Structure 1
């Protein structure tokens, strides 16, 4: 059973081993939500870990293993699913039962037999809260000026991709980029023009990668970075040149630059992590050194770390 999906409608996952209970809950909310169902804890965990994730889980407590309490515990223990709100729907109505469920991470408790108006109100409240929380989380991950992912996102993805590359023995490349002579640009054209310059540079850089796994982020100030998983050194160097060319092709006038337009210095580093190695600090240091070498070598060029 599933209601038609709409991009504007939140998704609620109903988990109960009794089909009649699922039907009763689904009937109450089907007009306002896309409804997914699971008749076992294992199926519920699989659905919650998929894409797109549900915005809310209505979870029965008394089910064959894993029961509702264990399902909630696993959801909250998994970083991929821990932010999905859970409401227990159960006939157990003692204070001890409710306290136990809340301590496991549930957001609310609905006891059977339930009042339809209460179910609708609590579902709406928690879905609205989840949507607002998601919006705040998205805002916290974007750079306010360029709308690129920010340094926080880059650092987290770098750790994740480094761990994945270490497990798989695959290469990981990092590209560090710096707008040349940006301080003179700001001083000459003004901070408003400087901000617009960074926005245009950001759009140009974001348009270069054609793989969803590649990440372009604002590193800070006039510095940008690109994380390229599964990318060997030749491919990373080629991408570095594409980034450089994309900014040069903007043709933004810059009276205080050697080229008379805005350019980019690019440093590229590639490493294949070995089992037992530490974090990605050495990759970052190599990319930084390569960027410094590009700037020292005359700017508007790509330097690849050895």
Structure 2
């Protein structure tokens, strides 16, 4: 599951994944849906699973009979993967008896459309399930967003870090973590008051979120005045350069802080550590708990060295 930041969300056409091994069926569905939707196409089960993980479509239109993996198994695998489990699946099939429909619903589908398709019916069904998914996503987002700052909360951070760690292991890609702490925040609260402290947290959160460059990068409020960034497919060296830019963006807010360690303005200390690239499936870089400990150690290095700086392992 991947949710956009509430204040960073940009309107886009809904994404559909059409899965069918027959070109005429693909063409018919594409013609019916491409005017209002971004349509991706897969002609087999394995390709469909790969595209679903990479493109994160809003809805999958899935044929049952395919040469490599049948649609029921594709649907089961989509629902078993935490990164694709929330994507609704509609079977588009010539099989319309009750047994086939029950098997599809048991696999996790939300609807069936019979072949040959009626374009108006397809568009209506797709619209209905996209609306339901949008409402469901909004409810999940409310549960995963920090009410004060508008960025993701600790609960969502924990889930996404677990997902990205497993993905990095599976694909052999690097994964880097940042922990970001607002320097001398307690003295700031004591001097300027908690309302000013809340405003400071919001402004820093927005500055950090605006500095992230890719949709896959995640910012969350880790706790108190501390934030965390999960950076998939990013080496430590690249994350270090990003951390420096984020630090400068926070300084550029020019939030007055008479008790600051330097410059009489709000600053942040950042710790960076990561899991290196590896062979797919290889266990390297320890565990998630060890990654958090290593990143936290770098954060304390930054704070003990005078704050308002970045340290990386």
> Same fold by TM-score, threshold 0.5 exceeded?
yes
Matched residue SS, 2:69 = coil
1:235-274 matches, cutoff 5 A: 243-257=246-260, 259=262, 261-264=264-267, 266=269, 268-270=271-273
Partner of 2:149: 146
Contact 1:69 1:104 in 2 (8 A): yes
CA deviations over 1:106-137 (Å, ceiling 9, x no partner): 11123456676654432221121122233444
Partner of 2:235: 230
Q: Structure 1 residues 180-189 or 192-201, which shifts more?
A: 180-189
Matched residue SS, 1:126 = helix
Contact 1:56 1:84 in 2 (8 A): yes
CA deviations over 1:23-71 (Å, ceiling 9, x no partner): 66556556544555555545544543443x4432333324444333233
Contact 1:179 1:262 in 2 (8 A): no
Matched residue SS, 1:110 = strand
Matched residue SS, 2:236 = coil
Partner of 2:292: 284
Structure 2 residue 46 is the aligned partner of structure 1 residue 48: no
Structure 2 residue 189 is the aligned partner of structure 1 residue 186: yes
Q: CA deviation at 1:223?
A: 1.2
> Per the alignment, do residues 196 and 171 of structure 1 end up closer, same or farther by CA in structure 2, a change over 3 Å counting?
same
Contact 2:83 2:163 in 1 (8 A): no
CA RMSD of aligned residues (A): 4.1
Contact 2:273 2:312 in 1 (8 A): yes
Structure 2 residue 307 is the aligned partner of structure 1 residue 300: yes
Partner of 1:10: 14
| Residue-pair matches, total | 296
Q: CA deviation at 1:177?
A: 2.9
What are structure 1's unaligned runs of at least 5 residues?
1-6
Structure 2 residue 96 is the aligned partner of structure 1 residue 93: yes
Q: Structure 1 residues 34-43 or 76-85, which shifts more?
A: 34-43
Q: CA deviation at 1:101?
A: 1.0
Distance in 2 (alpha carbons) for counterparts of 1:214 and 1:35: 24
Q: CA deviation at 1:105?
A: 0.8
Q: Structure 1 residues 84-93 or 34-43, which shifts more?
A: 34-43
Distance in 2 (alpha carbons) for counterparts of 1:68 and 1:168: 24
Contact 2:182 2:269 in 1 (8 A): no
Matched residue SS, 1:266 = strand
Q: CA deviation at 1:85?
A: 1.5
Matched residue SS, 1:122 = helix
Q: Structure 1 residues 83-92 or 131-140, which shifts more?
A: 131-140
Q: CA deviation at 1:76?
A: 2.6
Q: CA deviation at 1:147?
A: 3.2
Contact 2:53 2:83 in 1 (8 A): yes
Partner of 2:130: 127
Larger Rg: 1
Distance in 2 (alpha carbons) for counterparts of 1:105 and 1:13: 16
Contact 1:244 1:266 in 2 (8 A): yes
Distance in 1 (alpha carbons) for counterparts of 2:212 and 2:121: 48
Structure 2 residue 80 is the aligned partner of structure 1 residue 77: yes
Q: TM-score, normalised by structure 2?
A: 0.70
> Per the alignment, do residues 24 and 186 of structure 1 end up closer, same or farther by CA in structure 2, a change over 3 Å counting?
same
